[in-house]
Structure 1
Amino acid sequence: MADKQDDSTIFNKYQNYIDSPEKQRALYRRTLIIVVLSQIFGGAGLAAGITVGALLAQDMLGTDSFSGVPTALFTLGSAGAALLVGRLSQSYGRRFGLAAGFLAGGIGAIGVVIAAITNNIFLLFISLLIYGSGSATNLQARYAGTDLASPKQRATAISIAMVSTTFGAVAGPNLVDVMGRFAIKLGVPALSGPFILAAATYILAGLVLLILLRPDPLIVAEAIADEKRKNKKVHLDSNTNSLAFNKRGIVAAATLMVLTQLVMVAIMTMTPVHMGKHGHGLSDVGMIIGFHVGAMYLPSLLTGVLVDRIGRLYMAIASGVTLLAAGVLAAMAPGESMTLLTLALILLGLGWNFGLISGTAILVDSTNPANRAKTQGTVDVMVALSGATGGVLSGVVVANSSYATLSIAGGILSLLLIPVFIWSSSKRVKLQA
């Protein structure tokens, strides 16, 4: 990596970390604090913009026919950025990769503001695509806390990052009105206000990582792993059994995160439509989605502890079972029942939470520092695209059948996680890094 090659002083600092488990633990704790701070800013940037993206497009186009375009562009931009951020992180470290992703998201948000001022639709769409970089980076930042974590700390580290995102994600939408009024005072369209906030918070998140994330946890983790291999005279490419298990773990982790994302997005997307057909207003929809989002993130600390203590496999199975329960309950609940629909959406968010945290932990377990960030970026691309697929297919299924059919199908699909994890856990080989 560039940092290690260009500066022998930096190499000496890495050597100090290699020789001192205490310094490794201190750097792990410091990294978590920095990640938490960046995630709070990043969460605000993500939520503030998404809240009004469709409204801004509708206002500029004068029609609601293309109001879904912003979400599609966020997703596409997120998928592309996940791959780029992963590769940049692998080559130059987490600090550079994550900072570049957040700063790109901030630039995209600035582009949206300029597009709103100039009423330039083409610039709006391009800027929204770039803005999606912030979303991908916000998700990938959860990996940074795991680089120096022990196997028994990894899920907890992931959960801390996810909980910290919640603070920003809750604050962002609540500042929409404030930022709208601020935008009007500046003489720009009100709907561009949240993107002013997004630009500021994404850039702050990027600067926090760029300035404070030193030494880089991924580079230090790779240096430690290299030293261990040298001492043991073990080369990664000579252990075919370990590689075979690694591949199984990567497949299992990817399957878990892709399926949980697809099922969650599909049912969540059509729930407001289903509620509207049964006479529920926007306040009811907002309340249920609020409970759903809370269930996605707030249980993370407990989930992380459970994943570390009782095991990845059990929590992965719990994810499938919980999603099945959510699908069955959503299908059986009367459309007029706020209580049962709310419970179904809470279970849906909880199942997603179990799946993302356990899947992320499995992915970290199944990689080593030499290929970890690149692999994580590739898997996050699939996760982003699965969410887009779930959103598109959900409308098709409901249009040709019913919300109940969609919910049951999603629940049954989630059960595929069980045989995948039984397969992946057989012939388990202990990882070396």
Structure 2
Amino acid sequence: MNKNLWLLILSQIFAFTAAPVTVFLSGIIGSKFSPIKSLATLPMALSIVGIAIFAIFAAKVMSIIGRRAGFMFASIGSSISSLLAAYSIIIESFILFNFSCFLLGAGVAFSHQYRFAAVETVKKDMAPKAISIILLAGIGSAFIGPNVANITKEFIAEHLYAGSYIALAALTLISTIFLIFYKDGHQPNKITKKTTRSYSELISQPRFLQALIASAFAYAVMSFLMTATPISMHVMENISLTKTGLVIQLHIAAMFLPSLVTGNLIKKFGHSKIMYGGVFLFSITILTSLFEQNLTNYLIALVFLGFGWNFLFISGTSLLVLSYRENEKFKAQGFNDLIVYSIQAIASLSAGVFLSLTSWKIMNLVCIIFLVLIILSTLRADLKERN
């Protein structure tokens, strides 16, 4: 733990509040304003599309202007996007709300770079711990964001939830205060394309591919089920908004709380074994879905969904860091995030359609395909390394 890492943690807590608030409210607001039932999750999905589209852009911008300026630019942009979301609720515009969620996703794309910035403050063998620590800060985001959004939802009495996004505008702007004191060791990227490997060469490495698949499909499964949860619980099963919010909050906490030990577990057992552990935790979520859809089972399923994501995403990200050269970091990081969040976007976009056409149980069973692919890529990489 050093000064820069502490500042990144504090800044990320507030910058990342846009993500849990979007998860908590976008589907509910979407179901209120959407002219078509199956489009209720479109705002959430578009926020993830924003993450995917701006992933490479975020890495490229930071390679030019540095981490600090990039993060500050994103925080200001997220604050403006939040105000736009509040305005869209006031005028009851589903289209404008979707656009504001897309822009919030762009801001989150920059926030996801915090984990790579954290790695740069420590030695490479400490990368799993640094990533774990920065992701652990997500617990703060998970509780601050939705709680503040819930408290301020009636700030503008005639327009429910407009106040939530006004509050979010303030939260995302707070991160810039800590970034003022962050010491950026950035030097302009003068590396030419000839000195770095192509995307096909990067992905041809078994370990790089393993890291990419683990992170991408961890996000796919998590987003696919998490996006559908508020609609399934609150709209279809008539479970109260307060209880639905509690499940989402505990799910997001479960995504980050294991970070207290995940870094140490990776150092002790290796990346592959932790990935297998993540697949096992996801399996508990799928198994739970086969039982009655009540608060308890939703809670168990979403908590283990968070645990599984944590194991797979941290092991995947820390393995990725070991799979590229220093002069390739922005290229590899941007490419990784583009693939990860594009797949997540597809999963999120299809969540509402799947839920309206099938059921919560079928959605869970579909996720088995992704678990099999994670296992196969890990086995392949292990076998290649042994040979």
- Counterpart CA distance in 2 for 1:427 and 1:170 is 43
Q: Cα offset for 1:270? A: 4.2
- Please state if 1:391 is matched with 2:364: no
Q: 1:426 to 1:148 in 2, by over 3 A?
A: farther
Number of residues paired by the alignment?
Answer: 381
Q: Name the aligned partner's letter for residue 365 of structure 2.
A: I
- Counterpart CA distance in 2 for 1:54 and 1:293 is 16
User: Deviations along 1:291-345, whole A, 9 cap, x unmatched?
Assistant: 32221111112112212332112111211222223223323x2335x54443333
2:108 to 135, 138, 155: 135
2:222 to 253, 264, 280: 264
1:199 to 154, 169, 186: 169
Q: 1:278 to 1:131 in 2, by over 3 A?
A: closer
2:280 to 318, 321, 334: 321
Asked if the contact 1:140–1:377 (Cα under 8 Å) also holds between the matched residues in 2, the reply is no
Q: 1:197 to 1:45 in 2, by over 3 A?
A: farther
- Counterpart CA distance in 2 for 1:252 and 1:320 is 14
- Please state if 1:153 is matched with 2:147: no
2:314 to 337, 354, 357: 357
User: Deviations along 1:125-158, whole A, 9 cap, x unmatched?
Assistant: 4333222222222222121100132233111111
- Counterpart CA distance in 2 for 1:46 and 1:289 is 12
Which residue does 1:13 correspond to in 2?
none
2:263 to 304, 308, 313: 304
2:364 to 399, 407, 423: 407
Q: Cα offset for 1:97? A: 2.5
Q: Name the aligned partner's letter for residue 301 of structure 1.
A: L
Asked if the contact 1:318–1:354 (Cα under 8 Å) also holds between the matched residues in 2, the reply is yes
- Please state if 1:29 is matched with 2:2: yes
Asked if the contact 2:26–2:43 (Cα under 8 Å) also holds between the matched residues in 1, the reply is yes
Q: 1:237 to 1:198 in 2, by over 3 A?
A: closer
For structure 2, which runs of at least 5 residues remain unmatched after alignment?
none
Q: 1:334 to 1:287 in 2, by over 3 A?
A: same
- Counterpart CA distance in 2 for 1:206 and 1:268 is 29
- Please state if 1:92 is matched with 2:65: yes
Question: Equivalent residue of 2:24, what SS?
Answer: helix
2:325 to 368, 381, 386: 368
Give the alignment's Cα RMSD to 1 decimal: 3.5
Asked if the contact 2:24–2:230 (Cα under 8 Å) also holds between the matched residues in 1, the reply is no
Q: 1:92 to 1:374 in 2, by over 3 A?
A: farther
TM-score w.r.t. the length of structure 1 is 0.76
Which residue does 2:374 correspond to in 1?
417
Q: Cα offset for 1:94? A: 1.8
Question: Equivalent residue of 2:327, what SS?
Answer: coil
Question: Equivalent residue of 2:119, what SS?
Answer: coil
Question: Equivalent residue of 2:324, what SS?
Answer: coil
- Counterpart CA distance in 1 for 2:250 and 2:283 is 18
Q: Name the aligned partner's letter for residue 248 of structure 2.
A: I
Q: 1:364 to 1:167 in 2, by over 3 A?
A: same
- Please state if 1:162 is matched with 2:135: yes
Q: 1:48 to 1:237 in 2, by over 3 A?
A: closer
Q: Cα offset for 1:36? A: 0.6
Which residue does 2:304 correspond to in 1?
347
Q: Name the aligned partner's letter for residue 156 of structure 1.
A: K
- Counterpart CA distance in 1 for 2:94 and 2:293 is 38
Which residue does 2:47 correspond to in 1?
74
- Counterpart CA distance in 2 for 1:169 and 1:309 is 29
Between 362-371 and 189-198, the greater mean CA deviation after superposition: 189-198
Q: Name the aligned partner's letter for residue 296 of structure 1.
A: M
User: Deviations along 1:3-42, whole A, 9 cap, x unmatched?
Assistant: xxxxxxxxxxxxxxxxxxxxxxxxx722211111111111
Q: Which has the larger Rg?
A: 1
For structure 1, which runs of at least 5 residues remain unmatched after alignment?
1-27, 227-234
- Counterpart CA distance in 1 for 2:236 and 2:286 is 18
Q: 1:401 to 1:363 in 2, by over 3 A?
A: same
Question: Equivalent residue of 1:415, what SS?
Answer: helix
Q: Name the aligned partner's letter for residue 265 of structure 1.
A: S
Q: 1:30 to 1:193 in 2, by over 3 A?
A: same
Q: Name the aligned partner's letter for residue 343 of structure 1.
A: I
Q: Name the aligned partner's letter for residue 163 of structure 2.
A: G
Which residue does 2:182 correspond to in 1?
213
Asked if the contact 1:262–1:387 (Cα under 8 Å) also holds between the matched residues in 2, the reply is yes
Q: Cα offset for 1:112? A: 2.7
TM-score w.r.t. the length of structure 2 is 0.84
Asked if the contact 1:180–1:194 (Cα under 8 Å) also holds between the matched residues in 2, the reply is yes
Which residue does 1:281 correspond to in 2?
239
Which residue does 1:175 correspond to in 2?
148
Q: Cα offset for 1:397? A: 4.7
Q: Cα offset for 1:102? A: 2.3
Q: 1:176 to 1:392 in 2, by over 3 A?
A: closer
Structure-to-structure mapping, 1:7-86, within 5 angstroms = 29-48=2-21, 50-54=23-27, 56=29, 66-86=39-59
Q: Name the aligned partner's letter for residue 256 of structure 1.
A: A
- Counterpart CA distance in 2 for 1:196 and 1:95 is 24
Structure-to-structure mapping, 1:211-250, within 5 angstroms = 211-216=180-185, 219=187, 247-250=205-208
Asked if the contact 2:154–2:161 (Cα under 8 Å) also holds between the matched residues in 1, the reply is no
Identity in percent? 24
Which residue does 1:10 correspond to in 2?
none
